[in-house]
Structure 1
Amino acid sequence: MSCDTTPTWALSGGNNRATALFLNASPYRAISHPCRPQVQHHREATTILTRGEGQKAVEWRLLTNRVVATLEEAAQLIDWYRCRWEIETLFHVLKNGCRVESLQLGHVRKLELALAIYLVVAWRLAHLTRLGRILPDLPASAVFEQTEWQAAWLLAEKPPPRKMPTLREVIRRIAMLGGFLARKGDGEPGVKTLWQGYTRLSSFVRGVEQMRSIHAL
């Protein structure tokens, strides 16, 4: 059994409130059960204990069939596991936001085409949610067209800012169109309010572009 420590920013990119990480790696054998196959190989049980200032300790375990000999290897496995939540977010948008399970298409080819389009939509929303948290000060122009970010203010009946807003400002404004309250203790918006707000934003932007195309604006 080994024990070591490392700052959690090495795992979380600076967004984790915890200040230290304690690792115990020990062999683990699954308990046999008549309804599941016998496990023949040992698995490493990684125990993570994080302590933030003034916070209660949090402990969780990640079981893996990979050999963990060093703290760096354990940190790599944790980063792999963290990718699972990005995938969960993607399929959450795909199923509940895009409602792909409600599609009533008579041919597999049509279903494949629809999924290809909706996967791009789901990826964009999941990507925006993530970017707004890890790169909040990124200029909005890196992700949005000018018409898009200005529309976020116009739909709220507010004048668009004269200076280029940050990505975080635009994402929060879009999420407010979808029901995000943006109160002091609310944290950052989730993907659900973002997709609801983005639906309104997209319809508005398409309307503006159509009006410009016929020289009505």
Structure 2
Amino acid sequence: MRAGELAPTALSTPRRLPNVEVFAIHAIEADVAERHEPLEWMLLTSVPTNTREEALERLEWYERRWTIESWHRILKSGCRVEARQFGNLDRFVHATALFAVISWRVLYATLLARIDGDLPCDVLLQPLEWRALYCRVHNTTTLPARLPTLTQVVLWIAKFGGYLARKHDRPPGPTVMWRGFLALHEITEMYRIFRQNE
């Protein structure tokens, strides 16, 4: 770990930006298989880092970057938050708060199913949602005796989003899950409407 300062770039700004103190963490992958080069990278952080424990904590933070990137991709590509025209800041703040929760739910579904797919589906879906989904997938009005698993409902949702579920396909990603959740919303609304007429 080494501390230093970064100077601002030569931008045409009316005021001079201050230098930023940064800490460099040099990381090299350990326990690499033979005939493979270890990964090596330099991480710069503005968070004070003076001990080995602090450096490891910063690396753990960085490791979570890809999850955050996936969440941003859902927010930008799925919710299309950048393409929307809100008219004013108040509308933007309210809409972005809603889209942030929607994006989190899609990402949560994607990751949780990979971690523990045997959980009951009600850890993710409301009763009306999983019932509507089950009835649509199985073309029935009879509900199962047991709750479907998380793996089952995530697969059904992903298929509505275009996931092919071939033998060697990777698990469903955020994009097909986003599209699947859009379909699930419509399925749930129709299920609710028809149940009201019974």
TM-score normalized with structure 2 length: 0.75
**Structure 1 residue 27: deviation in Å?**
5.5
- Structure 1 unmatched ranges of 5 or more: 1-25
Q: Return closer, same or farther for 1:207/1:39 CA change in 2, 3 Å cut-off.
A: closer
Which of 125, 131, 148 does residue 165 from structure 1 map onto? 148
Which residue number in structure 1 is paired with residue 163 of structure 2? 180
Q: Return closer, same or farther for 1:187/1:49 CA change in 2, 3 Å cut-off.
A: farther
Which of 123, 127, 135 does residue 104 from structure 2 map onto? 123
Q: Return closer, same or farther for 1:56/1:151 CA change in 2, 3 Å cut-off.
A: farther
Q: Does 1:143 align with 2:124?
A: yes
**Structure number with higher relative contact order (C-alpha < 8 Å, ≥ 6 residues apart):** 2
Q: Does 1:113 align with 2:94?
A: yes
Q: What per-residue deviation string (whole Å, max 9, x for no partner) do you get for residues 107-148 of structure 1?
A: 222222211211111111111112112222221122212332
Q: Return closer, same or farther for 1:184/1:38 CA change in 2, 3 Å cut-off.
A: same
Q: Tell me, in whole angstroms, the C-alpha distance in 2 between the residues paired with 1:140 and 1:208.
A: 18
Letter of the 1:82 partner, please give it: E
Q: Does 1:152 align with 2:156?
A: no
Q: Tell me, in whole angstroms, the C-alpha distance in 1 between the residues paired with 2:65 and 2:182.
A: 26
Letter of the 1:187 partner, please give it: R
Which residue number in structure 2 is paired with residue 210 of structure 1? 193
Q: Tell me, in whole angstroms, the C-alpha distance in 2 between the residues paired with 1:113 and 1:148.
A: 25
Count of residue correspondences: 188
What is the root-mean-square deviation in Å for CA atoms of aligned residues? 3.4
Q: What per-residue deviation string (whole Å, max 9, x for no partner) do you get for residues 78-129 of structure 1?
A: 3211222222112111111011122122222222221121111111111111
Which residue number in structure 2 is paired with residue 88 of structure 1? 69
Letter of the 1:46 partner, please give it: A
CA contact (8 A) 1:50 1:59 kept: no
CA contact (8 A) 1:48 1:61 kept: no
- Structure 2 unmatched ranges of 5 or more: 12-17
